[in-house]
């Protein structure tokens, strides 16, 4: 999973995608890779899981080999215009980018391609061994993945169109890019994940590199009947809750690929502790 | 307004159970003398079935077996069409609705779905048909979008881009021709490779004509929001807790004061202490050891939940409501009411 150059991590809101993205960044850096973890739209999640108050457009070193950043759309647009489209310096780019940054918030495809473009530019720069992207939640992901095609359709020629085609080909190259879906074994998250898998299979914008189920509970190892025969009280109540949750989870787990599973973590207080613990667990399989 | 409508806004981060909680509150509030509607956003299949919701529609339909309860599922696109018809001239409305950028904006502008929800909520309040309205909010930006959407939408429609390009407060159609002649636009077209900017500008000009009416509307919506009872739902997991703390800081900026924090998936407080005591009444040694270890894990969670929640409720001086953790969230309508049965302090809010 960490052998690619560009890994997008997405999932339904609340399933722990930022935690998994942060954990994989920690694992890759420990293995000696130079890693950039970048959040596309969420200013909070990745920062919290790295235990820092905020992220900025300029990469912040989290630990040796691991850097983290946040896509700031107006800075990304400047970069897109200046570096990627080779807008000649003498043009009033400041003015132009002021106007375009408002456009970037409104015109279809522009805001998405600028946001999508940033992590891909970082891959092209060849400064990182791995770029891990804390991508938008599943509901919005599709419009971002489709952005290069949207642009190609809207703009028939020109530098923007060439750029969009190049983004599209990096994204769809399975040797370079992959999408990791994070889910939890509950109804809404599993149904959304299955829909996303079907959609990605049909549209082929990016290869699904894996489906990770998070917060999976271990069976207790004694029968439900043995638990229910115990006298009333907290030991029984906690046992019943646990075994019912396990039963409900196992039904939902059956309907997704049998990829790595991450355990429910008991007793963790901060997102940073969660990411650190998940990293230890991920060492085993990533 | 023919009656005084009680409005409950249920907000919080994604995945914490807002929709189920909203439905449960509505079931509890509805009755022969209290016409209640719950506005849901993207309910789970089984919950939608229980509420008899089968398609997106802002038009409430009666919920089977619950007297006085109606439900709807937000149709953001229809809400936007309504907005355009209500706040622009018929000719402009027709042109806007045919414009493909309009759909793109309604679909992709992050506050668009949230604005649609606020608009639909306000229309329901103003209809005078309801005694109670429970609003489930779209899960974006930890729920904050719902409160920011009215002003953000007014800003967008106000046409920052147009204002910057034309320098005019209220550009008319004739400005467009002058405006398309500007060198800046030529450069943009060269880079973009087509008349994209011009197309978008024309669209924004149309949208701009709605500004005054929409800005007034946004102010009314904000009043409705401030008058409503806002309940922040969270679980005690570290990530939503972090989000909820930030959410509270930001809520004060939009002058919304939550009425309560509701902890979903709460564990019994007694488990924390019980986990420290020896178990005597389970004869089988294996069962005893397994259940002891299990109780230690869940008891630790219970303690962690209590300390995180005391922090929030204490700091903001808010009542803390707790909804017990259930293995399978109840989906049948009659069980939804049970979900909130033991929640003390809830009925004071509803």
Structural domains of chain A sorted by starting position, each given as residue range(s) with its CATH number in brackets: 6-217+257-283 (3.40.50.300)
Burial class (CB in 10 A: 0-12, 13-18, 19+), A77: buried
* pLDDT value of residue B210: 83
* pLDDT value of residue A214: 96
Tell me what the mean pLDDT of segment A115-120 comes to.
92
Mean residue pLDDT across chain B:
83
**What are the pLDDT digits (tens) for A191-250?**
999 999 999 999 899 999 999 999 999 999 999 999 999 999 999 999 999 999 999 999
Question: Which residues of chain B have a CB within 8 Å of the CB of A242?
Answer: 294, 298
Q: How far is A30 from chain B (nearest CA, A)?
A: 24
Angle at alpha carbon of residue B211, lines to B207 and B214, rounded to 5°: 110
pTM, full prediction: 0.86
ipTM over 0.85: yes
Range of lowest pLDDT (A94-103, B51-60, B262-271, B326-335): A94-103
Contact A66, A27 (CB under 8 A): no
Tell me what the mean pLDDT of segment B275-300 comes to.
95
Check B295 against A155: CB less than 8 A apart: no
- Report the residue of A77, A102, A143, A145 to disrupt the B interface, i.e. the one with the largest count of B CBs within 10 Å: A102
**Is the per-residue pLDDT at B61 higher than 90?**
yes
**What is the SS3 assignment for A207-237?**
CEEEEEEEEECCCCCCCHHHHHCCCCCHHHH
Contact B138, B145 (CB under 8 A): yes
Cβ of residue B299 closer than 8 Å to a chain A Cβ: yes
DSSP state at residue A107: S
Give me the phi and psi of A106, to 5 degrees please: -120, -40
Range of lowest pLDDT (A52-61, B94-103, B132-141, B331-340): B94-103
**Is the per-residue pLDDT at A280 higher than 80?**
yes
* pLDDT value of residue B203: 75
**Is the per-residue pLDDT at B60 higher than 60?**
yes
Cβ of residue A7 closer than 8 Å to a chain B Cβ: no
Cα distance between residue A256 and residue A210, in whole Å: 10
Tell me what the mean pLDDT of segment B193-208 comes to.
69
Percent of chain A beyond pLDDT 90?
Answer: 63
Question: Which residues of chain A have a CB within 8 Å of the CB of B288?
Answer: 235
* pLDDT value of residue B21: 92
* pLDDT value of residue B170: 47
Q: Is the dihedral of CA B153, B110, B135, B258 positive or negative?
A: negative
Tell me what the mean pLDDT of segment B264-275 comes to.
94
Contact A144, A115 (CB under 8 A): yes
**Is the per-residue pLDDT at A91 higher than 80?**
no
Closest residue of B to A86, CA-based? B191
Check B101 against A107: CB less than 8 A apart: yes
- What's the Cα-to-Cα distance from B80 to each of A251, B58, B105, B118, B202, rounded to whole Å? 39, 11, 10, 11, 19
In sequence order, the 6+-apart residues with CB closer than 8 A to the CB of B103 are B77
Closest residue of B to A87, CA-based? B191
**Tokens in use for B6?**
């009680």
Angle at alpha carbon of residue B138, lines to A250 and B57, rounded to 5°: 95
Cα distance between residue A245 and residue A242, in whole Å: 5
Give the count of beta carbons closer than 10 Å to the beta carbon of residue B173: 10
Check A267 against B242: CB less than 8 A apart: no
Question: Which residues of chain B have a CB within 8 Å of the CB of A231?
Answer: 281-282
* pLDDT value of residue B172: 53
Tell me what the mean pLDDT of segment B198-218 comes to.
79
- Report the residue of A18, A23, A103, A109 to disrupt the B interface, i.e. the one with the largest count of B CBs within 10 Å: A103
Q: SS3 of B143, please?
A: helix
Tell me what the mean pLDDT of segment B287-308 comes to.
95
Contact A56, A47 (CB under 8 A): no
Cβ of residue B194 closer than 8 Å to a chain A Cβ: yes
Cβ of residue B142 closer than 8 Å to a chain A Cβ: yes
**Is the per-residue pLDDT at B247 higher than 70?**
yes
Q: Which domains does chain B have, with CATH numbers?
A: 6-349 (3.40.50.300)
User: pLDDT category, A267, cuts 50, 70, 90?
Assistant: confident
């Amino acid at each position: 999973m960490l052998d690619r150059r560009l890994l997008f991590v997405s999932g339904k809101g609340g399933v722990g995608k930022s935690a998994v993205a942060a954990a994989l960044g920690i694992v890759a850096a420990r293995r000696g890779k130079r890693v950039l973890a970048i959040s596309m739209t969420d200013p909070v999640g990745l920062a919290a899981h790295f235990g820092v108050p905020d992220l900025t457009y300029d990469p912040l070193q989290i630990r040796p080999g691991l850097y983290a950043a946040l896509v700031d759309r107006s800075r990304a647009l400047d970069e897109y215009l200046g570096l990627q489209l080779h807008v000649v310096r003498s043009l009033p780019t400041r003015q132009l980018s002021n106007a375009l940054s408002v456009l970037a918030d409104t015109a279809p495809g522009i805001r998405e391609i600028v946001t999508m473009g940033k992590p891909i530019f970082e891959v092209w720069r060849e400064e990182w061994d791995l770029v891990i992207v804390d991508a938008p939640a599943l509901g919005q992901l599709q419009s971002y993945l489709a952005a290069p095609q949207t642009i190609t359709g809207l703009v028939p020629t020109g530098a923007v169109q060439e750029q969009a085609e190049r983004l599209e080909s990096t994204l769809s190259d399975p040797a370079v890019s992959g999408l990791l879906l994070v889910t939890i074994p509950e109804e809404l998250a599993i149904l959304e994940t299955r829909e996303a898998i079907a959609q990605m299979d049909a549209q082929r914008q990016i290869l699904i590199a894996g489906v990770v189920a998070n917060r999976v509970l271990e069976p207790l190892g004694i029968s439900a009947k043995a638990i229910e025969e115990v006298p009333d009280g907290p030991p029984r109540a906690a046992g019943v809750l646990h075994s019912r949750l396990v039963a409900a989870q196992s039904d939902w787990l059956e309907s997704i690929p049998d990829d790595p599973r991450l355990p429910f973590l008991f007793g963790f207080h901060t997102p940073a502790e969660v990411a650190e613990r998940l990293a230890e667990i991920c060492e085993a399989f990533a | 307004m023919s009656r005084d409508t009680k409005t409950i806004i249920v907000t919080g981060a994604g995945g914490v159970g807002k929709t189920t909680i909203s439905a449960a509150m509505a079931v509890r509030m509805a009755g022969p003398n209290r016409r209640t509607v719950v506005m849901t956003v993207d309910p789970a299949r089984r919950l939608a079935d229980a509420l008899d919701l089968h398609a997106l529609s802002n038009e409430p339909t009666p919920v089977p077996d619950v007297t006085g309860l109606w439900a709807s599922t937000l149709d953001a696109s229809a809400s936007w069409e309504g907005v355009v018809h209500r706040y622009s001239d018929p000719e402009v409305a027709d042109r806007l609705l045919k414009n493909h950028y309009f759909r793109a904006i309604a679909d992709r502008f992050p506050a668009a779905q949230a604005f649609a929800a606020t608009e639909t909520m306000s229309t329901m309040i103003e209809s005078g048909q309801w005694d109670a309205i429970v609003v489930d909010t779209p899960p974006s930006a930890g729920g904050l979008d719902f409160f920011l959407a009215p002003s953000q939408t007014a800003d967008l429609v106000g046409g920052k881009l147009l204002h910057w390009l034309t320098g005019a407060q209220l550009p008319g159609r004739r400005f467009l021709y002058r405006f398309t002649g500007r060198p800046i636009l030529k450069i943009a077209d060269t880079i973009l490779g087509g008349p994209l900017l011009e197309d978008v500008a024309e669209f924004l000009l149309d949208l701009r004509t709605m500004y005054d009416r929409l800005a007034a509307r946004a102010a009314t919506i904000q009043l409705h929001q401030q008058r409503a009872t806002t309940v922040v739902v969270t679980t005690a997991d570290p990530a939503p807790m972090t989000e909820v703390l930030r959410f509270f800081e930001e809520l004060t900026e939009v002058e919304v004061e939550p009425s309560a924090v509701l902890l979903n998936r709460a564990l019994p407080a007694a488990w924390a202490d019980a986990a420290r005591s020896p178990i005597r009444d389970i004869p089988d040694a294996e069962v005893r050891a397994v259940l002891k270890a299990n109780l230690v894990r869940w008891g630790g969670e219970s303690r962690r939940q209590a300390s995180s929640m005391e922090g929030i409720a204490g700091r903001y001086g808010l009542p803390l409501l707790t909804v017990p953790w259930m293995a399978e969230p109840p989906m049948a309508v009659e069980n939804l009411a049970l979900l909130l049965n033991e929640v003390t302090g809830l009925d004071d809010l509803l």
